[in-house]
Structure 1
Amino acid sequence: MIVELRQYTLRPGRRDELIELFDREFVESQEALGMRVLGQFRDLDRPDVFVWLRGFPDMAVRGRALPEFYGGPVWREHGPAANATMVDSDDVLLLRAIVAPPASPRDAGRPGTVLTATIWYRERPFDEEFTRWFTGQQRDAGAVFATEYAENNFPRLPVREGEHAFVWFGAAAEPELTVPAGFDVVKTERLRLAPTARSAFR
């Protein structure tokens, strides 16, 4: 599975407006075209950031489905209202799933669990050796991803290029992992994320 990790910086105070619009208009309309809206989240430490995950079976589906959606009637009607809430929507990592996120029923009527997304970066691709170390260390692999190096086949939506990332979504109660120096990690980000009411990953 190919996955986009999308982090949107919004205009102050407008996150709930975007979430209400997104959850109402942009879930089923994307999934009808072969995409999967895997999860939508409020960043608990950045009040004007909306984070979401979008999945595709492969890059060919991505190259077909994105033009259909962004050239289609739903985005034409509701896209301007969504864009009006945003300052920046270009913070996007293109990833491949090592462990795909589990899905819960939408509108489950229960609060989701706070998740933590840990993102490690280094100056070369993450390899099987790192994956084996990670698998042996952690206990809750809610979802795991690494950088997908295929060319962006929908350049209208930029993705971050020239970066090497390894991403772990787990329960917030999981302790942070200290990566051994030999793996040459140069930066670590840790996001605390609260699922929206219609997030499938919760």
Structure 2
Amino acid sequence: MDQTHTDQPLWIPSPEYADGSTINQFRRHLNETLGLNLADTADLHAFSVNDREGFWVALKDYTGVRAETWGDRVLVDGDKMPGAKWFPDARLNYAENLLRRRDSAEAIVFRSETGARRAQTFAGLYDQVSSLTQYLKDRGVQSGDRVAGYLPNMPEAVAAMLAATSLGAVWSSCSPDFGVQGVLDRFGQIEPKVFFCTDGY
């Protein structure tokens, strides 16, 4: 296949668009909170390379990611690539972070194979995950257990995954398009305590 190569970017944002970007908001935040003088994204990149620990602590704080603990160490074996470990003592649950919002904004927009649109709000997703989490608890699911889903890519699959991970369980899934042997091969290895499946979609 013939490809045309060019040194020209495909798109350049307007100065107003670039100035309002999240990365520039973060750059200005660093200037204000750390007393830095980062003039542009090149300066921000240099800061991230020259003060790796300071950069990642600042980014963690700026994003508001929640954790049970971050630990005292930020970077271990920073000169090893691969092998460096960031926040090696941190303990967090990404389901908790994804479910922080509980408002009426759209969290998931789903389109079926027929093109039908279905949206789920953050509040609705939280409620559904909460119900499924209680269901899993009632069946004895704990941290380290396996929960599996034989589900298509749809909001219910996301809710089941978040419910499992909120308890520290391991989630595994595959599409109903998989053949019987493929499903047995995948789920037979992990012996799930709870198995979600669909009877159609």
Name the TM-score, length of structure 1 as normaliser: 0.22
> Whose strand fraction is larger, Structure 1's or Structure 2's?
1
Name the TM-score, length of structure 2 as normaliser: 0.22
Q: Which structure has more RCO (C-alpha within 8 Å, separation ≥ 6)?
A: 1
> Whose helix fraction is larger, Structure 1's or Structure 2's?
2
Rg larger in 1 or in 2? Answer: 2
